């Protein structure tokens, strides 16, 4: 993934959480399943996993482009949970990783 493209992918994740009241393990599991099954997240889990890796290394804000009820801290914690959930679902259908 190009280093300039990851933020748009992260914004897709953030947008998908606007009406999610709790950014907890069950929410991360549901989103990971949707990514692996390519429901709502058609680019596939690899694209989202790569973007999450970029985002977790980024020191700047991740919640600055989309209005969200979630704090920066809570969203970053959710991305960590989501990364774990995606990793636990490997190997992903239709991918070598």
Is the bond preceding 91 in cis, omega lying within 30 degrees of 0?
A: yes
Where do we find the tokens 């549901």? Answer: 30
The pTM score is 0.93
Per-residue pLDDT tens over the stretch 40-77? 998 999 999 999 999 999 999 999 999 999 999 999 99
Closest-CA residue to 83 (of 41, 58, 59, 55): 55
Per-residue pLDDT tens over the stretch 23-48? 999 999 999 999 999 999 989 999 99
């Amino acid at each position: 993934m190009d280093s300039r493209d990851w933020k748009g992918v992260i914004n897709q994740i953030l947008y998908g959480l606007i009406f999610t009241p709790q950014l907890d393990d069950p929410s991360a599991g549901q989103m990971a399943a949707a990514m692996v099954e390519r429901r709502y997240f058609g680019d596939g889990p690899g694209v989202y996993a790569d973007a999450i890796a970029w985002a977790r290394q980024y020191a700047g804000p991740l919640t600055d482009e989309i209005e969200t009820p979630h704090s920066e801290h809570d969203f970053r914690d959710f991305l960590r949970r989501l990364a774990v959930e995606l990793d636990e679902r490997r190997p992903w259908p239709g991918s070598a990783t």
